[in-house]
Amino acid sequence: MAPKTVLITGCSSGIGLALAARLARDKQRRFRVIATMRDTGRSAALVAAAGPALGTTLHIKQLDVCDEGSIRACVDSIPGRHIDVLVSNAGVGMVGPLECQSLAAMQSLMDTNFFGLVRLVKEVLPDMKRRRGGHIVVISSIMGLQGIVFNDIYAASKFAVEGFCESLAVQARCFNVGISLVEPGPVTTEFETKMYQEAERADYTQTDPETAAIFTRLYLGNARDVFASLGQSPEDHTLRVIAAPRPPFRHRTNAAFTPMAALKQADPSGTIITSAFYQLVFKHTAVLRLGLRAIRMLRWNIRKVKEGARLLGLT
């Protein structure tokens, strides 16, 4: 069977880089990876991760999701414009009090996170429909299902992504084109680390002192515990979605967030989950941190058991 051509956006770091390298090094050689990024001058980390796969099962190309011409040029450079799997991963983050974010920065985020996806799909979907086959995999977020305090605009962009894909999936199915949303929770990558480092140094004089204190002292402190306890790298999950005989429409990569999603579905009014988040974040912070540290210890123990089993040749 010929390898599937997989085009991935946002491969200079983070999820895109890890996924591109993982697919390119696939032992069964099931994939031909087109790893794209806005600035190919930032490809050194991907080149190192790809190793001997570079130039064979992995090819690096320029693609800016905010530029229709760049997208078209990249797709046109692929023989027959044939893309079996599109992985829409390029994105930017934003965290902090709303009053401290400029409207221009918000519009730029939406242009990348939402309209970037729309531009990609507009370019590749007609070819997939003509071939009666294809798969569009979108890296969404658990924040596309539930807004999180101080992530207002980022969550809005992911809600838009989720609504777009829900609507499109029904039509696409008529043409044997699948759409899958991969919904990670906290992801431990350079992307998140840099974003939170910048948040710690930012100027919050444009909001009131109480809000600034809540964000810098309470939110950022809790965020560090959340990433340490629940952070993951979801490329394994994305690979399973791509390789699945019948890919799911939604795939959440972190089971710890299942109760949150279930609670939202159970109470259409939103009263319970809003109150639960308020109590947990602002009234019972010590309980939240204790729970996160317990999860971190449990994950550490599980990891050690798996490492021991590998050393003993049991797995």
The residues assigned a catalytic role are 154
Q: For residue 112, give both structure tokens.
A: 């990348």
- Encode 265-292: b = buried (16+ Cβ within 10 Å), e = exposed: eeeeeeeebeeebeeebeeeeeebbeeb
Contact 46, 126 (CB under 8 A): no
Amino acid occupying residue 83: I
The answer to whether 79 touches 138, Cβ cutoff 8 Å, is no
Cβ neighbors of 259 (< 8 A, separation 6 or more) are: none
Instruction: For residue 157, give the amino acid letter.
Output: S
CB environment 44-76: b (16+ within 10 A), e (fewer): eebeebbeebbeebbbbbbbbbeeeebbeebbe
Gap between the Cα atoms of 97 and 106, Å rounded: 12
Residue 132: alpha-carbon gap to chain centroid: 27
Rounded to an integer, what distance in angstroms lies between the CA atom of residue 8 and that of residue 182? 14
DSSP H/E element including 145: none
Report the SS3 class of residue 183: strand
Structure tokens at 132: 């009666």
